Chains A and B, each alone.
Chain A
Amino acid sequence: MAQASNLQRLDTRVTKRSTMLLEQSVLRPRHDKVSLGAFALLFGEIIRYSQNRVLGIQDLEGKLNEIGKRVGLRVFELLMLREKNVHRETRVLPTLMFINTVVWKALFDKQADSLGRSTENEDEYMITDNEPSIIKYISVPKEMASFSPGAFLAGIVEAIAESCQCPARVTSHLVPADGLPLKTVILLKFSQQVMEREKRLDAGK
C-alpha cells in the first residue's frame, strides 16, 4: 500500500506542485534557496580533496576550473530549457551580457558587479564580482597568495562561453579592494578565431 502511493508520487512529481525541494519541476523553478553553509562545506571539501592531488597552485586552479566546466555545461543546458523564447547567443557581447545577467542571476540571485573590456588587449574582457558568495568563508593562506578560489567560477564561465560558440581561455584573479577582501575578477581571453569572426560580422553589417 505504502509502496503504491510512493510510486504514484514519483509518477506525478512533475505535474503536482510539491513542497519538497527535490521533487520540484526543473521547468518552473521556485525560488528555494540552497543553504550557503552546506555549499561552503561541500566546496571547501572539494578544494581540500583537490589540493591533496595536485602539485602546485596552478594545478589546483586547473582542477577547480575543470570541475567548474562540468557545472557550467549543465547550467547552460538548464537555462536554455527554462528560457521562455529559446534564443542562444553567438556573438561575443551578447554572450557576455548573458553570463553577466542571466547566468549570475540563476546561480547567485544577483547580477555580476561589472563587465568591462581590457584596455590593453581587445580580445580580453572582465567580469567582476565584488563578493562571490561561493568563496565567502575562504581565507587564502599567505603561502598560497596567488591562488584564486574563483577558478571554479572561471570554469563555469568558460563552459558557457564555449557553448555560445565563443571559446575563450578564462582565468580568475583575487583582487582585494578596500572593504572587499574577496573581490574577484574573471578574465576571458577569446580565441583568435572568435575575434576574427567578430570583425567579419561587424564589417558585413
Chain B
Amino acid sequence: MIHAVFIINRSGGLIYNKSYSDQLAQLSSNEALIFAGTFHGIHALASRISPAPKGTSDRDYESIDTKNFRLHCFQTPTGIKLIAATDLLQANIAEVLADVYKLYCDYALKNPFYSLEMPIRSDMFDSMLLKLVQG
C-alpha cells in the first residue's frame, strides 16, 4: 500500500506531494518543503560517505526502512527524485516508480501549461497517478 508520493526537482524543491492514506502524519506544506530539501541533502551525502567500492549498477534507487513504513526513492537520469512512502508489505515499488516517471513525462512535460522545475498542477496527472496508486 502506498501512503504518499513526492517528486523533488533537480535543485531539491518539492514539485509534487500527495498523500493517499492517513497512516502517516500529514505534513504541512512547510514541513513537506523541509522534507524535500533534507532528503535532497541526505541523498547527496549518502554517496559521499559510502564505505563500499563504486557499484556497477546503473539504477539509482534508494530506500529507507523504518519500523512502520518504508521510503523508496528512484532518481531519474535527469536528476528528478520520485519518492514513495509505502507500508512494509508493498512489493514491486521500483516498477511503480518507473510508471510514475512515465506519467510525469506524459502528463507534466507534455502539458503546455507546465513549466519545468515548477510544481505540477495537472488534473490529468492527479487522476492518472491516483489510478496507478490504487492499482
* A residues adjacent to B (C-beta < 8 A): 37, 40-41, 43-48, 51, 137-141, 144, 149, 181
**Contact between chains at A140 and B107 (CB < 8 Å):** no
Give, as a whole number of angstroms, the nearest-CB distance from A202 to chain B. 44
Give, as a whole number of angstroms, the nearest-CB distance from A168 to chain B. 27
**CB-CB nearest in chain B for A139:** B122
B106, B107, B113, B125: the one contacting A141 at CB < 8 Å is B113
**Contact between chains at B110 and A139 (CB < 8 Å):** no
Q: How far is the CA of A54 from the CA of B75 in the complex (A)?
A: 38
Q: Which residues of B contact A138 (CB under 8 A)?
A: 110-113, 124
Give, as a whole number of angstroms, the nearest-CB distance from A133 to chain B. 12
**Contact between chains at B121 and A141 (CB < 8 Å):** yes
Q: Which residues of B contact A37 (CB under 8 A)?
A: 106, 110
Give, as a whole number of angstroms, the nearest-CB distance from B122 to chain A. 4
Q: Which residues of A contact B122 (CB under 8 A)?
A: 139
Q: Which residues of A contact B121 (CB under 8 A)?
A: 139, 141
Q: Which residues of B contact A40 (CB under 8 A)?
A: 106, 110
Q: How far is the CA of A118 from the CA of B113 in the complex (A)?
A: 32
Q: Which residues of A contact B127 (CB under 8 A)?
A: 181
Majority-rule SS of A interface residues: helix
Those of B67-125 within 8 Å (CB) of chain A: 106-107, 109-113, 121-125
User: Given A181-B123, A181-B127, is A139 in contact with B113 using a C-beta cutoff of 8 Å?
Assistant: yes
Give, as a whole number of angstroms, the nearest-CB distance from B61 to chain A. 25
Q: How far is the CA of A46 from the CA of B107 in the complex (A)?
A: 17
Q: A46-B112, A141-B121 are in contact. List 9 more A-B contacts (CB 8 A).
A: A37-B110, A41-B109, A41-B110, A138-B113, A139-B113, A139-B122, A140-B113, A144-B113, A181-B123
**CB-CB nearest in chain B for A40:** B110
Q: How far is the CA of A149 from the CA of B110 in the complex (A)?
A: 13
Q: Which residues of A contact B106 (CB under 8 A)?
A: 37, 40, 137
Tell which of B107, B110, B112 has the most Cβ of chain A within 10 Å.
B112
B112, B113, B125: the one contacting A45 at CB < 8 Å is B112
Q: Which residues of B contact A41 (CB under 8 A)?
A: 109-110
Give, as a whole number of angstroms, the nearest-CB distance from B44 to chain A. 31
Give, as a whole number of angstroms, the nearest-CB distance from B101 to chain A. 14
Q: How far is the CA of A140 from the CA of B123 in the complex (A)?
A: 8
**CB-CB nearest in chain B for A41:** B110
Give, as a whole number of angstroms, the nearest-CB distance from A189 to chain B. 27
Give, as a whole number of angstroms, the nearest-CB distance from A37 to chain B. 7
**Contact between chains at B123 and A137 (CB < 8 Å):** no
